Amino acid sequence: MIVPVQKDDELLLDIGAADARDGHVRLWWLGQSGFLVQFDGAHLLLDPYLSDALTAKYANTDKPHVRMTERLIDPARLDFIDIVTSSHNHTDHLDAETLGPLRHANPGLAIVVAEPNRGLVASRLQIDPQVLVGLAIGQHVDVGPFRIEAVPAAHEALDPQYVGYVVRCGAWTLYHSGDTVRFEGMADALRPHAVDVALLPINGRAPERRVAGNLDAGEAAALAHDIGARVAIPCHYEMFAFNTADPATFVEACRAAGQRAVVLHCGEQWSSSAI
C-alpha cells in the first residue's frame, strides 16, 4: 500500500501554513483525479475521491477495486472548502461518501457539475437540484477568486455530460481535463486559454479492463505541449490496481516533447512559484 507523503494532521498543517496570499496558486494531489487548489485564502476541490466507496461496491465481484494508495484524509475534516467540482458521474469523480461529509462541514459549499448531470448528481447526493451549480460547455461561474469554465471532454466520445474545467485565479490558469481522450480540435480550442498548469490523466485505455478510456502518458504529454501548458501534472493512477500507469513514462514522453512536467506524490504540495 502506498502511503501519502502527507496525510491527516500533517496535511492540514501544510495547507494552513501555505496560505501566504502572495499571488501564487498552490495545489495538492489527493489521489486519482482529485486536487486541492488554494489561492488568496480560498480553496477549491477538483473531483475529489476520499472514500472507499468503490472498493466496497466491487468487493466479491469480477472487477475488484483494490486500493493502491491509502486515503489521505477524512473529507469531514476539510471544513474550509469554498467550491468543489465533479467533471462527470463516475464515482471516482462524483462520490457521495466524499461530497456528503464535505457539504456538512462546509454549509456554503458550491458544487459545480456539468448541467446535463444535475438531476443525477442531486439524486446521488439526496439534495435539491437547485443547490447545484450546473455549467453547460462554455459557461462559467465565479466563486471567490476562482472563475471556473466548463470545456468539452470525450470519455470515450464527446458528450455534454463529460466536461473538463478551466480555472482562473489571479494571474494563473489551470486546466483539469476530467476523464478524456483527445478529440479533433481539442488543442486548438484550449490554446487560447493560455494554460499555466495542465492536470491530465495518464492511465490510457485497455478494453480488457472494461473501463472507459483516457489519455495515456504519451497522449497526455503531447496534449500539454500542443496547448502550450507551462507545466503538466499527471493524475488518474496509483489508486486502483486494475487501472493505473507509470508516471515515469509520462515524464519521458514530456522530455521528448520539450514539455515541462512535475510528478506529485499523493498529498504533496506544488506552488506556481516553481514556474
CATH code where residue 45 lies: 3.60.15.10
In a domain? residue 273: no
Q: Whole-angstrom Cα distance, residue 178 to residue 67?
A: 20
Q: Is residue 274 included in any domain, yes or no?
A: no
At 211, the pLDDT band (50, 70, 90 cuts) reads: low
Q: What is the mean pLDDT of residues 3-29?
A: 97
Domain range spanning residue 24?
8-268
Give CA–CA dist 122/102, Å, rounded: 15
Q: Say which DSSP state 266 is in.
A: T
171, with CB counted inside 10 A (0-12, 13-18, 19+), is: exposed
CB 80 within 8 A of CB 43: yes
pTM (2 d.p.): 0.96
**Could you give the percent of the chain with pLDDT greater than 90?**
91
- Give a yes or no: residue 175 inside a domain: yes
Residues 114, 130: Cα–Cα separation, whole Å: 13
Q: Does a structural domain hold residue 202?
A: yes
Q: pLDDT at position 213, please? A: 83
List Cα–Cα distances, 171 to 17, 19, 64, 272, in angstroms: 22, 17, 43, 10
Q: How many Cα atoms occupy the beta-carbon half-sphere of 269 within 13 Å?
A: 19
Average pLDDT over residues 10-34: 97
> Measured between alpha carbons, how far is residue 18 from residues 13, 202, 269 in Å?
9, 28, 9
DSSP type of residue 20: -
On whether residue 145 sits in a domain, the answer given is yes
**How high is the pLDDT of residue 207?**
54
Domain count, the chain: 1
CA distance 203 to 158: 19
Residue that wins the pLDDT comparison between 145 and 206: 145
At residue 273 the predicted structure's pLDDT band, cuts being 50, 70 and 90, is very high
pLDDT score of 212: 64
Q: Give tens-digit pLDDT for 125-170.
A: 999 999 999 999 999 999 999 999 999 999 888 999 999 999 999 9
